[in-house]
Amino acid sequence: MTEGKTLAEFQDEIDQCARCGSCQAHCPVYLETGREGSVARGKIVLAAAVLSGEVELDQRLREEIDLCLLCGSCAAQCPNKVPTNTIVAALRQRIAATHGLSALGKGVAALTGSKPLLGTLVKSADLLAPLLFKKIPATSGLRLRFGPAALKNRSLPPLPEHNLFAQVPEFLQGDPAQPVVGVFAGCALTYLYPHVGEILARLPHRLGCSVYVPRSQGCCGMPARSSGNGPLVASLAEANINAFAGRELDCILTACASCRGMMADYSAATGHTPAAHLVDLHVFLRRQGLGEQLAALPKWPHRFRVTYHDPCHLRTAGITREPRALLAALPQADLVEMEDASLCCGLGGTFAAVHPDLSRAIGDRKLAGLQASGATIIASGCPGCILQLQDIIDRAGLAVKAVHTLELIHQALTEAPS
């Protein structure tokens, strides 16, 4: 499998940048730093200069290219559809090929390339303690996205005893007349939030579908892409494509915005895509009529307020209405919109590990809208966003809980009104 397009192969797209500045208002890093090098057109200027030989891949350039969340907000708003996030990823790949992987990149490679190691580490809460991280060499990479600086004073979810694969069978037989769907869980829903991963698998089965959860699936490759490790991205993509190749599927479901965004980019990153098309679970559930089922349930007498945070990789794919429609149909909650729901949370793959203070500053921009909404629950369709949101909420001392939308849907279907 190839490692995707090189930087030189993006020459035509780079030439399409008109330097108009439309990207400025939508770049979370630029909104915080105000630096031209942080915004998309600045990155494109640097990429063009590298290709022309005007600049070298020196330390200053590497630092500028590192200041990108790969959220895709700039590309979604660009009038010429310049894929700056993909170009930045290609430039990082060139940097890594020239100068080698960073310490974090080496850690990501060790961890995401080894499912047994990842599973073993997540089983131990002690290994996630910041104090212990101080005793471990920086090159060991004991966390997928968070190193010692990122973990310092960070809220972490209670670590589960068992991962997702211990909680659901590989295949759940459903109604032969209903779709056969694959489930791609990703690292977070497999190891950190397996209860959400189980809902991801069992909810389509409840609706009559047969569900395939292949054990050979692994990391989607987003952290590897963030660190410029093109060979690892290609390897992980190939493994995941092959994982679902053994069964004829109507679609592959995801409940992690980052995983969906990465897998949708497999073609650009590797030249190959999964045989079955990817479908975000919110979209699938609406198609299956779950919204109507939820709306028909008796309203709870004591409801809470819930608001919604748009994950970047769903928003830039145009998936904004479906999660809200499902939340609005919940019998136990009243959906309220918050200002700046579409602002990035600031996590961004390995960005939070490399730039923890900037990551949190970007996330803190969401607090005013959240407080004004009066919501006690903030839902999202990305476990990474949930982790980041809960951290900024806890640091601000707010009585708000961040959850996956699937948790609220499961609550509505399984709990008695109260």
What digits encode the pLDDT tens for the residues 381-395?
Answer: 999 999 999 999 999
How is 6-45 classified by DSSP, letter by letter? -GGGGHHHHHT-----TTGGG-HHHHHH--GGGSHHHHHH
Question: Which of 1.10.3720.10, 3.40.50.2300, 1.10.1060.10, 1.20.1290.10 would CATH assign to domain 7-99?
Answer: 1.10.1060.10
* pLDDT tens digit sequence for 298-313: 999 999 999 999 999 9
What backbone phi and psi angles, to 5 degrees, belong to 287?
-65, -35
CA angle, residues 385, 158, 115, in degrees to nearest 5: 75
Residue 147 has pLDDT above 50, yes or no: no
Quick check: 140 pLDDT over 60?
no
CA-based torsion, 308, 314, 315, 319: positive or negative: negative
Separation of alpha carbons 383 and 196, rounded Å: 9
- Structure token digits, residue 340: 């700046």
Q: How many CB atoms lie within 10 A of CB 367?
A: 17
List, in order, residues 6 or more apart from 147 with CB less than 8 Å away: 104, 107, 133, 138, 141, 353
For residue 254, the surrounding DSSP H or E stretch is: strand 251-254
Residue 133's pLDDT band, with cuts at 50, 70 and 90, is: very low
Number of neighbouring beta carbons within 10 Å of residue 100: 10
Residue 112: the pLDDT is 66
Residue 15 in tokens: 């030439």
| CB neighbour list of residue 351: distance below 8 Å, 6 or more residues apart | 68, 69, 70, 226, 358, 359
In eight-state DSSP terms, residue 271 is S
State what percent of residues in the chain have pLDDT above 70: 87
Q: Are 409 and 203 in contact (CB under 8 A)?
A: yes
**β-strand partners of 402:** 378
164-287 has the same fold as 7-99 = no
Sign for the pseudo-dihedral over CA of 27, 308, 156, 216: negative
Provide the phi-psi class of 331: left if phi over 0, else alpha when psi is between -120 and 50, else beta.
alpha
pLDDT, tens digit (0-9, with 9 covering 90-100), for 209-256: 999 999 999 999 998 899 899 998 999 999 999 999 989 999 999 999
Q: b/e string for 370-404 if b means 16 or more Cβ within 10 A?
A: beebebebbbbbbbbbbbbbbbbbeeeeeebbbbb
pLDDT digits (tens, 9 = 90+) for 348-384: 878 888 899 999 999 999 999 999 999 999 999 999 9
Q: Which amino acid is at 13?
A: E
Q: Are 231 and 221 in contact (CB under 8 A)?
A: no
Q: For residue 102, name the pLDDT band (cuts at 50, 70, 90).
A: confident
- Give me the sheet containing 333-335, strands edge to edge: 333-335, 304-308, 377-380, 401-404
**CA separation (Å) from 285 to 76, 136, 207, 409?**
25, 44, 9, 10
Fill in the DSSP letter of residue 245: T
Query: Where do the structural domains in the chain lie, given as residue ranges?
Result: 7-99, 103-149, 164-287, 291-414
> pLDDT tens across 270-284, in order?
667 787 899 999 999
Confidence band (pLDDT; 50, 70, 90) for 134? very low
What CATH number matches the domain at 164-287, 1.25.40, 1.10.287, 3.10.360, 3.40.50?
3.40.50
| Mean pLDDT in residue range 7-12 | 94
pTM above 0.85, yes or no: yes
CATH number for region 291-414: 3.40.50.1860
Residue 182 confidence (pLDDT) above 50:
yes
